[in-house]
Amino acid sequence: MIPDKAPEDDVFHGAEEMRRGAHVPTFDKYKEMYTQSIEDPDKFWGDVAKDFFWKSKHTGRFLDYNFDVTKGEIFIKCMEGASTNICYNVLDRNVHDRKLGDKVAFYWEGNEPGDELTVTYRELLNCVCRFANVLRSQGVTKGDRVAIYMPMVVELVVAMLACARIGAVHSIVFAGFSAESLCDRIVDSQCSLLVTADGFYRGDKLINLKLIADEALQKCTDKGFSLGRCIVLKHLSKEAQETSLSSPPAKRPCPDLQETETGRVRKTRPVPQVPWNPEVDKCWHTLMGDVSDECEPEWCASEDPLFILYTSGSTGKPKGVLHTVSGYMLYTAATFKLVFDHRPDDVYWCTADIGWITGHSYITYGPLANGATSVLFEGLPTYPDVSRMWEIVDKYHVSKFYTAPTAIRLLMKYGSEPVHKYKRDSLKVLGTVGEPINPEAWQWYFTVVGDGRCPIVDTFWQTETGGHVMTPLPAATPMKPGSATFPFFGVVPAILNESGEELEGTSEGYLVFKQPWPGVMRTVYGNHGRFESTYFKKFPGYYVTGDGCRRDKDGYYWITGRIDDMLNVSVREKIGAIATPDFIQDAPALPKTRSGKIMRRVLRKIASGERDLGDISTLADSSVVEQLFHNRCCTAV
């Protein structure tokens, strides 16, 4: 019998053809560029910055920072003195300077097969300028926070870029979240306006988004915070036919759409209820009809806020992670280009929702900064059947595909047949993000989905890091299934033990970073103390990810999961009686967020038998909670 190889001895090399024309073609080249990025960050990021338009140039050091709480306040500043506009850089510059006006920015694929829309860079720019004027006409000015609660439609991208154009700060709330979560986020960031939609379908299920938004606004009022304006996109209801995108929308022929003359969404199913309060509610389409399509961007300082995004947070109330203009722009652009080895004729598809950081960085900002063509998908991987993903891959000839291990494991259950129904021969690079990918799922993704041809980029990062921090580069890095491999340029990882000592060579401990990269978060909105205590207090001088990590004999990094989720099983003598379990409960599954974080406060409440769990809308699968309560009763008897 041949003994099983340890996963760390399993090494896969990217296909030879990947190397031709690749941005980083070999591992030696990666090492050379990595060293340069650490030794001379000003040169490395200065070269990236040359691709962008700066209204005024930066003065002084490229990155200035303090990571040591014992030496004073934590801060990170990138390109101080420079001014720019990220919306201008991802749209105007592509349309006017790079002549990409007619290039497709998004192929929108609706929940229902056949609902679709193609949007070019010129159309997107036109729409964003108009919506930016709408926001200004509603009194939104630079620095104001705008809450966005929308399904995966092109107008969501339009709304976020319109905010960026006028220097307003977007705060996007995932459309699967409850009224309570939306209210908490609106109040925390004191938003002056909400942009939402009538509703949307998730598979067969109608979500009455406007009803939930109204409930959230009522809750805000109850808490003494009133938000005066709500702009509503009619995505499913009648008026949607006067589509907001520049007319006429470039639509592919689709008999159903033409038959029903309803614009882009089929009318074969019930439309949502849309309660309307004329004092507060304004129709997106009506407002868009009244404004010009020219809009001078607001020139922003490098460190002006760009957006707030709340982390799901396994403990306590969600944190408003704040990202700023210049550093985030450079970092998402550079990581997108190099990690997906972007080429001009690529069709890229990231299946995440824009309500998460993955969508912010790798559906909107990173791809658009590179003039990429992306698929924007409203639906589910299992609707109307489990082949949907591969059908879309073939339909748009997707070459770079980015998804989460949960999606891969879900589809894996149905075997290879639904995958093999489609050719998938356009695929070149596959990506994953969100949690460690187990080697079985990696193998299935590699062999069944990618036919053994496509490198897998296992990208480790966080809402807080803004973009990929540990990741293979598809042509350069030999892959090991389950390992996020090596740091991206400018990122310096270390592994610490409990006493905060840096471990060398083969080791396991806390994953930390020793210096900033341009895209790292700047603060927790409205609570800088919480920023310092969460990420910098435990080990002064380091950014603490909260993840555990192992380094193998070849220097590969393996993320082992959130440290606070691990149970120390050395029980009583070493840890002390206080940490001895009261009882041990059988748990078929744990209450995890969509990114795999265990919600410890929920576990605590289950343990104490408390039924009121508070806001659990971030749970990936809420049925787990019922199961745990059930098992608890069984244990008690």
Which residues of this protein are in contact with ligand WT7, per CB under 6 A?
311-312, 356-358, 433-436, 458-463, 484, 545-547, 559, 562, 595-596
Residues in the chain, total: 637
Q: Which is nearer to ligand WT7, 312 or 326 (CB)?
A: 312
Q: Which is nearer to ligand WT7, 111 or 595 (CB)?
A: 595
Q: Quick one: tokens of 246?
A: 């520049």
What CA–CA distance (Å, rounded) separates 374 from 392? 12
DSSP notation for 94-132: IIIIS--TTSEEEEEE-SSTT-EEEEEHHHHHHHHHHHH
Q: How far is the CB of 401 from ligand WT7 (least distance, A)?
A: 15
Q: Which is nearer to ligand WT7, 379 or 436 (CB)?
A: 436
Among all chains, which residue has been given the structure tokens 């939104």?
140
Q: How far is the CB of 249 from ligand WT7 (least distance, A)?
A: 31
Q: How far is the CB of 399 from ligand WT7 (least distance, A)?
A: 21
Q: Which is nearer to ligand WT7, 167 or 320 (CB)?
A: 320
Count other Cβ atoms within 10 Å, centred on residue 411. Answer: 25
19: phi then psi, degrees, rounded to nearest 5: -70, -30
What CA–CA distance (Å, rounded) separates 110 from 120? 17
Q: How far is the CB of 312 from ligand WT7 (least distance, A)?
A: 5
Count other Cβ atoms within 10 Å, centred on residue 414. Answer: 13
Q: How far is the CB of 437 from ligand WT7 (least distance, A)?
A: 7
Checking phi first, is residue 60 left (phi over 0); if not, alpha (psi -120 to 50) or beta? left
Q: How far is the CB of 546 from ligand WT7 (least distance, A)?
A: 6
Q: Which is nearer to ligand WT7, 188 or 458 (CB)?
A: 458
Q: Which is nearer to ligand WT7, 156 or 233 (CB)?
A: 156
491 within 8 A of 35, measured Cβ to Cβ = no
91: phi then psi, degrees, rounded to nearest 5: -120, -70
Q: Which is nearer to ligand WT7, 301 or 563 (CB)?
A: 563
Among all chains, which residue has been given the structure tokens 């576990």?
603
Q: How far is the CB of 32 from ligand WT7 (least distance, A)?
A: 25
Please give the DSSP secondary-structure letter assigned to residue 492. Answer: -
Q: How far is the CB of 542 from ligand WT7 (least distance, A)?
A: 15
23 within 8 A of 338, measured Cβ to Cβ = yes
* Residue 368 CB burial class (10 angstroms; 0-12, 13-18, ≥19): buried
What CA–CA distance (Å, rounded) separates 412 from 414? 5
Q: How far is the CB of 593 from ligand WT7 (least distance, A)?
A: 7
What CA–CA distance (Å, rounded) separates 173 from 104? 27
Q: Quick one: tokens of 38?
A: 């650490």
Q: How far is the CB of 232 from ligand WT7 (least distance, A)?
A: 28
Please give the DSSP secondary-structure letter assigned to residue 570. Answer: S
Q: Which is nearer to ligand WT7, 52 or 486 (CB)?
A: 486
Q: How far is the CB of 424 from ligand WT7 (least distance, A)?
A: 22
Q: Quick one: tokens of 356?
A: 């998460």
* Residue 278 CB burial class (10 angstroms; 0-12, 13-18, ≥19): exposed
Q: Which is nearer to ligand WT7, 217 or 496 (CB)?
A: 496
522 within 8 A of 76, measured Cβ to Cβ = yes
Q: Which is nearer to ligand WT7, 111 or 312 (CB)?
A: 312
Q: Quick one: tokens of 77?
A: 């500043």
Q: How far is the CB of 152 from ligand WT7 (least distance, A)?
A: 16
Strand extents, DSSP E, 268-378: 281-283, 300-301, 305-310, 320-324, 347-350, 373-377
Q: How far is the CB of 506 from ligand WT7 (least distance, A)?
A: 19
Q: Which is nearer to ligand WT7, 266 or 597 (CB)?
A: 597
Q: Which is nearer to ligand WT7, 311 or 332 (CB)?
A: 311
What are the residues whose beta carbons fall under 8 Å from the beta carbon of 464, sequence distance 6 or more? Answer: 311, 321, 520, 521, 535
Q: Which is nearer to ligand WT7, 335 or 463 (CB)?
A: 463
Q: How far is the CB of 174 from ligand WT7 (least distance, A)?
A: 11
User: For 151, how many CA atoms within 13 A lie in the half-sphere containing its CB?
Assistant: 27
Q: Which is nearer to ligand WT7, 477 or 545 (CB)?
A: 545
SS3 for 458? strand
What CA–CA distance (Å, rounded) separates 276 from 524? 34
For the chain, the C-alpha Rg in angstroms (whole number) is 24
Which has the closest alpha carbon to 163: 191, 194, 142, 189?
A: 142
Q: Which is nearer to ligand WT7, 254 or 620 (CB)?
A: 620
Q: Quick one: tokens of 266?
A: 């089929």
323: phi then psi, degrees, rounded to nearest 5: -115, 150
Q: How far is the CB of 355 from ligand WT7 (least distance, A)?
A: 11
Among all chains, which residue has been given the structure tokens 């949502």?
272
